[in-house]
Amino acid sequence: MIEEPTIQRWAAGVEYNGARFHGWQKQKHQPGVSIQESLEAAISEVANHEVGIVCAGRTDSGVHASAQVIHFDSTAVRSDRGWKMGINTKLPDGICVNWVQPITSDFHARFSAVARRYRYFIMNKPVKPGLMHDQVTWWRKPLDAEKMHEAAQALLGEHDFTSFRARDCQANHARRTMKDISVKRMGDWVMLEVCANAFLYHMVRNIAGVLLPIGHGSKPVEWCEQVLSAKDRTKAGVTAPGEGLYFVDVEYPDYPDLPSYKNGPPFYELMATQGELK
């Protein structure tokens, strides 16, 4: 009697430069340009069978990740290092796998997560950046980070975030719980950090689109709360560019052995060595 091969579930941490791809999700009419498809092709080649993956949170075109989490199932017998090294040799530039480890079959990269964390980086100076132009958002008008932070506190807690969801968002409802939100400045950098149980399509970029006019003084601090209360997308601001947005952490309290880090992209670590964000 031939034994059925054992299926093992694996979790992995992924980082990517979203500027090189057309978002996370597979594209029906543009094969080979999504992060999901690139990863599935690489993992399948290492596994020697077709593999599908599930991520913690889908990112749209131009958005980056330093700590995306995925899971996949495979009957292939590989070591943690074997998976990581093998997958990375098959991936295109702009994507890498930082860690791979076995996990119990009840783990789900999306549904086991209780919170996701994003950081939105703004280069705030009169001249647009020559370096990292597709990895940060440039805003030439002076921004008051303290006013932006004050305004953002209206979003803490559980709310109906209809005013901050994209028109084509497919979520069943707009109620989300904002666990933490802050705006900090260091030199020419302004960083918006948000942590919520889940996010709506374009939610972080739409929050940034409200806070930016408050920061440069064309809207009052109270406007953020007014937009939230309106529950009407047309009452909000523009959708801020995706270049400055990074998916930086996922919380899995039931799986403490999974790596967790919130450092964000490499230039954020460099910023941290130069002084305190304030």
CA 39 to mean position of chain CA atoms: 17
> Is the pLDDT at 84 greater than 90, yes or no?
yes
How much is the pLDDT for 266? 64
For 235, residues 6+ apart whose C-beta sits below 8 A from its C-beta are: 163, 226, 227
Among 103, 125, 157, which residue terminates a domain?
103
**Is residue 31 located within the same domain as residue 127?**
no
For 33, residues 6+ apart whose C-beta sits below 8 A from its C-beta are: 21, 22, 27
157-160/8-16 β-pairing: unpaired
**Is residue 25 located within the same domain as residue 125?**
no
How much is the pLDDT for 205? 96
117: number of CA atoms within 13 Å, CB side? Answer: 18
46: number of CA atoms within 13 Å, CB side? Answer: 24
Active-site residue identified among 60, 134, 144, 160: 60
For 238, residues 6+ apart whose C-beta sits below 8 A from its C-beta are: 209
Among 103, 129, 145, which residue terminates a domain?
103
> Is the pLDDT at 276 greater than 60, yes or no?
no
**Is residue 39 located within the same domain as residue 128?**
no
The pLDDT of 244-267, averaged and rounded, is: 84
Q: Residue 74's domain spans which residues?
A: 8-103
**Is residue 72 located within the same domain as residue 133?**
no
- E strand residue ranges, the chain: 8-16, 54-55, 64-74, 95-103, 115-123, 137-138, 157-160, 175-186, 189-196, 245-251
Q: Which CATH number characterizes residue 175's domain?
A: 3.30.70.660
Q: Is residue 232 annotated as a catalytic residue, yes or no?
A: no
Lookup: tokens for 244 = 């400055």
More confident site: 99 or 275: 99
Q: Read off the pLDDT of residues 201-249 as tens digits, 9 standing for 90 and up.
A: 999 999 999 999 999 999 999 999 999 999 999 999 899 999 999 999 9
Among 103, 134, 165, which residue terminates a domain?
103
Domain assignment present for 38: yes
What average pLDDT does the structure give for the chain?
Answer: 91
Q: Read off the pLDDT of residues 112-153 as tens digits, 9 standing for 90 and up.
A: 999 999 999 999 999 998 888 889 999 999 999 999 999 999
Domain count along the chain = 2
The pLDDT of 58-86, averaged and rounded, is: 95
Q: Which CATH number characterizes residue 80's domain?
A: 3.30.70.580
Transcribe 241-275 into DSSP letters. Answer: PSTTEEEEEEE-TT-TTS------SHHHHHHHHH-
What SS3 state is found at 136?
coil
Please answer whether residues 269 and 122 qualify as being in contact, where contact means their C-beta atoms are separated by less than 8 angstroms.
no
Please answer whether residues 42 and 55 qualify as being in contact, where contact means their C-beta atoms are separated by less than 8 angstroms.
no
Domain assignment present for 91: yes
The pLDDT of 46-65, averaged and rounded, is: 94
CA 108 to mean position of chain CA atoms: 17
